[in-house]
Chains A and B, each alone.
Chain A
Amino acid sequence: MRCAAAVCEKRPGTSIVALTKVHSPQKSHTSTAQGGVAAVDPKDPVDKIVYHMFDTWKGSDCSADQNVIRLVCESAWEQIVWLERRGMHFSRTEEGRIAKRPFGGHMLDFGRVKAFRACYEADRTGKGIMDTLWAETLRHQVNFLSQSLAVELLFDENRCIGALVFMEATGKFVAVLAKATVMATGGKTRMYQVSTNCRQNTGDGLALVLQAGLPVMDVEAVQFHPTGIVGPGILASEALRGEGAMLRNAEGEAFMKRYAPTAGDLAPRDLVSRCIMKEIREGRGCIHRDHKLPHVWLDLKHIPEYVHRTKIQEVCGFFKKFVNVDPQCELCPVTPTAHYQMGGAPTNALGEVQRNATESVPGLYACGEFAAASLHGHNRLGTNSLLELVTMGKVVGEQVVEYLSGTVPPPPRPPEDGGDLIFGQFSDYFAAQGKESYARIRNELRQVMMENVGVFRTADGLNGAINALMELKFRAGRMAMHSQTLVMNQELIEVWELNHLLDLSMVIAQSALARQESRGGHYREDFPERDPAFHYHTLAFMTEYGKVTLDKRPIDMSIYEAGGPYADKFGVIERKY
């Protein structure tokens, strides 16, 4: 939506059709982001953009692209002001300016001391951004199609000319032909048993990209947040541990001290997630009595009542509402939860989708969590994702405007073979016979991915997962549908989504198998160190199920290569906090 707003502002009257899978554009998953948007205020006496760039580079485990880091960090404050002037309800300081809070990994002076850099709207910053952008698209009268699914990308030679769209509520197919197409389908981690992602985040966008013969990048880099609420998988913010909450195992031991004597419960996300999983694997976890899921405890009982009431009220409310646990007097069940995927559709710094390490696909753009530009490399810092949406959204919007002026309209009709793919898929779903159950395959997939392609990975586990996925994909062709209608057929959509989850899971598993090192969110027990031999982005194609071809894209090191006073900070540096 930031992209649509940029197009409307720069080129009024542009005809835009915006598709959303959810019931209204305001229902998208960005609304659930809590913490803030990182941006260095030029009036800040101590913070500098170069510190933000350094933190992002270090946080990425040296695999983000420095041209993108520079672009995003330098335009961050401008985007905050843009949002505020369009009515976003940021929290305020006594002087009436936008309030800022510290966040994990954001430091002053190259990692010395925490920075107040995250602009926020209470603990609903994502909702603030979503509401503002949605209202802007209303102002500009962008034409939204809700509950509509892009089911196949359309091409004329090499150029993307739009997409075939399935309207869920009416059961009709529509071809949307466009001079330019922007994909921003968001998160993609519903293939994990516990995930903070919404029901719709099933990787459809990346599956479409793969089906079009295009690559995905760095999909092995999945971020697991240490404390998801068991069952629903809702995020229990790091702020709880910031207020003194402690992780405990089944024996009641506050185990983090054993792993990280200094940082303890406030060690980095990836490290804490690994410790929790280790406890569970060594038999010191619990099994939730209702959800039947393994977990450890988060202890907030010793935290003063006034802190519960004033500082961590919302998240404590989640425990009360969703698992009926009162954090003031009971232990809270938590478990690592799939939260974010750093990888996505590879784009250059202009948001142009790439067909390989050097060439772009004319007319096709991507931004947001769906894309990998890459700002985050193999690990993302908190508050950098919302920043990426608004900065790259604008960049892509302006890029599209430029492209529109120099290009011819798409052909008046979709290509001859347009729709062959999706009509074939839907026909197969409807014609499928067999006793297989959607629920069973979905549950097995989530378990396989959580156990073998999750926080810890090994060659054996990944190979096992790849075999299991081959079998699941085969079985997914033997599920008989219970209704043949096209109109609001939830089962049809779920089967379509399940196939995408299976596709993307296979690419994640194979990319993870090939990366024989540990970097950011990708941790190989058999290769626990970062290895300079893997200093590149993974590009992965899948032409046939299970047949994944890998390629490389170099990591942009332009800040380092340009020399200058801080160049040494942007080399391949040690990641220690």
Chain B
Amino acid sequence: MSREYEITLNISRYDPDTDRSWVQSYELRVGGILRFVDLFRKINDEQDATLAWSSSCEHAQCGTCGMKINGKALLTCELLVGRAVEYFKTTVFEVEPLTVAPVIRDLVVDLEKAYERVHAVKPYLIAPAPLHPDGDEYRVSPQRLRQYVEATRCINCFCCATACVTQKNYVGPNALLANIVRIMDPRETAREERLKTLYSETGAPRCRTAQACTYVCPKEIDIAHFIALGKEGAPPFTESE
């Protein structure tokens, strides 16, 4: 990894002031250990202060820095140069914004717009179950939690929604997942409303089972598995399972 690389980034740019789009090339000589977010910072510092890009936590926990690198949707905070060269077998990278929302400038997209799909599935408990007779918290068995806990790890980075083969009239894999979590959550009683949302015109029927979501998920969640469960009506859990 300490090896240095001569790399080229061909970055999609957009200037809202002039409504102009173009691709700009940047040549960098960098250590293989640097992450793509470090490269953008390096470009800002040394070559072009006007390049705009998004990030926040920069360790794959917030899902702000998703982009398409050579066509693959991923989090640029966890893509090391050395690994990228190995994986894509090239030192030339096409860098594009995610396709889930309009571009504000360069690599920055209007994530709030993308989030509207998640808002629509109501990620909270719509109708909480009656409280436990002993008071305090609900009781949820670890066996039951295990069935859906992987799906709760989603960070809404929208990589899956970008990679999905269905782009139109579809809430997308991450929004479906948020709904399916609450269908499987024993504390939610609004099962009917949730299934209705799930099977609506913009819901599960739009999924074509290409499994691109699972393939690109930075958190390695098997999203396709949960969508498959959803398509079967996310059968209610029985303790014997």
Chain A residues close to B by CB (< 8 Å): 22-24, 26-29, 31-32, 41, 43, 80-81, 84-87, 89-98, 122, 124, 127-128, 131-132, 134-136, 138-139, 144, 146-147, 169, 198-200, 231-232, 234, 289-291, 318, 321-324, 437-439, 481-483, 485, 487-491
Question: What 3 A-B pairs come out closest when comparing CB atoms?
Answer: A96-B139, A439-B45, A135-B124
Whether the Cβ atoms of A487 and B16 lie closer than 8 Å is yes
Q: In the assembled complex, how far is the CB of residue A332 from the closest CB belonging to chain B, in whole angstroms? A: 13
Asked if B169 is at the interface (CB within 8 A of a chain A CB), the reply is no
Which of B1, B16, B62 lies in contact with A31, CB distance below 8 A?
A: B62
Closest to A98 in B: B137
Which of A22, A289, A487 contacts B64 (CB under 8 A)? A22
Which residues on the B side are within 8 Å of A24 (C-beta)? 111-112, 115, 156
Cβ contact of B17, chosen from A95, A97, A482, A485, cutoff 8 A: A485
Contact residues of A: prevailing secondary structure = loop
Binds A, one of B50-58, B89-97, B191-199, B224-232: B50-58
* A321 to B37 alpha-carbon distance, docked (Å): 14
Instruction: Tell me, rounded to whole Å, the shortest Cβ–Cβ distance linking A275 to chain B.
Output: 25
Q: Which of A122, A138, A488 sits near B124, CB closer than 8 Å?
A: A138
Contact sample, A vs B, 19 pairs, CB 8 Å cutoff: A28-B62, A29-B62, A31-B62, A31-B155, A87-B188, A97-B139, A124-B61, A139-B124, A144-B112, A169-B104, A199-B55, A232-B58, A289-B31, A322-B59, A322-B78, A324-B80, A481-B49, A482-B50, A491-B50
Given contacts A89-B145, A96-B140, A324-B80, contact A483 B46 (CB under 8 A): no
Given known pairs A138-B122, A198-B62, the reply for A232 and B35 (CB within 8 Å) is yes
On whether the beta carbons of A290 and B58 are closer than 8 Å, the reply is no
Interface of chain B residues 26 through 64 with chain A (CB within 8 A): 31-35, 44-46, 48-64
Q: Are B45 and A437 in contact (CB under 8 A)?
A: yes
- Residues of chain B from 114 to 128 with CB closer than 8 A to chain A in the complex: 115, 119, 122-125, 128
Contact B110 A169 (CB under 8 A): yes
Closest B residue to A78 by beta carbon equals B136
> Are A290 and B49 in contact, with the CB atoms below 8 A?
no
Give the interface of B toward A (CB within 8 A).
1-2, 16-17, 31-35, 44-46, 48-64, 78, 80, 82-83, 104-105, 108, 110-112, 115, 119, 122-125, 128, 131, 136-142, 145, 149, 152-153, 155-156, 182, 185, 187-188
User: How many angstroms between the C-alpha atoms of A485 and B18 in the bound complex?
Assistant: 11
Cross-chain contact B56 with A27 (CB below 8 angstroms): yes
B60 near A321: Cβ-Cβ < 8 Å: yes
Rounded to whole angstroms, the CA-CA distance of A92 and B61 in the bound complex is 22
Q: Which residue of B lies closest to A127 (CB)?
A: B61
B145 touches A92 (CB 8 A): yes
Q: Are B82 and A324 in contact, with the CB atoms below 8 A?
A: yes
Q: Which of B1, B16, B57, B104 is packed against the most chain A CB atoms within 10 Å?
A: B57
* Bound: A90/B149 CA distance, A: 10
- Note all chain A residues with C-beta closer than 8 A to B34: 290
Tell me the bound Cα distance from A147 to B142 in angstroms: 38
Known: A27-B56, A97-B139, A199-B55. 12 other contacts (CB 8 A): A86-B128, A87-B188, A89-B152, A96-B140, A97-B136, A135-B123, A232-B58, A290-B32, A321-B78, A322-B80, A439-B44, A490-B53
Query: Is there an interface contact between B139 and A95, defined as CB atoms closer than 8 Å?
Result: yes
A93 to B149, CA, bound (A): 14
Query: B56 to chain A: which residues have CB within 8 Å?
Result: 22-23, 27-29, 198-200
CA distance A41 to B83 in the complex (A): 46
Which residues of A are found within 8 Å of B138, using beta-carbon distances? 84-85, 96
Taking CB as reference atom, which chain B residue is nearest A119? Answer: B137
Given contacts A27-B64, A92-B145, A232-B59, contact A124 B111 (CB under 8 A): no
